[in-house]
Amino acid sequence: MAARIQLREKVDVQSLELKDQVVSINRVTKVVKGGKNLSFTALVVLGDGHGYVGYGMGKAREVSSAIKKGVEAAKKNVVRVPITDKGATIPHAVTGRFGSGCVLLKPASEGTGVIAGGAVRAVITAAGIQNILTKSLGSTTAHNVVKATVDALLRLKQPERVARLRGKSVAEVVGPEEKKAEATPATPAAPPVS
CA distance 192 to 194: 6
Q: Which of 31, 24, 26, 46 is nearest to 150 (CA)?
A: 46
Q: Which of 173, 128, 120 is nearest to 151 (CA)?
A: 120
Tens of pLDDT, residue by residue over 102-133, are: 999 999 998 999 999 889 999 999 999 999 99
To the question of pTM greater than 0.85 for the whole model, the response is: no
Tens of pLDDT, residue by residue over 10-60, are: 677 778 888 999 999 999 999 999 999 999 999 999 999 888 999 999 999
Q: Is 164 helix (H, G, I), strand (E, B) or coil?
A: helix
- CA of 16: how far to CAs of 97, 101, 168, in Å? 28, 30, 34
Higher per-residue pLDDT: 115 or 158: 115
Entry field: residues in the chain? 194
What's the pLDDT score for residue 84?
Answer: 86
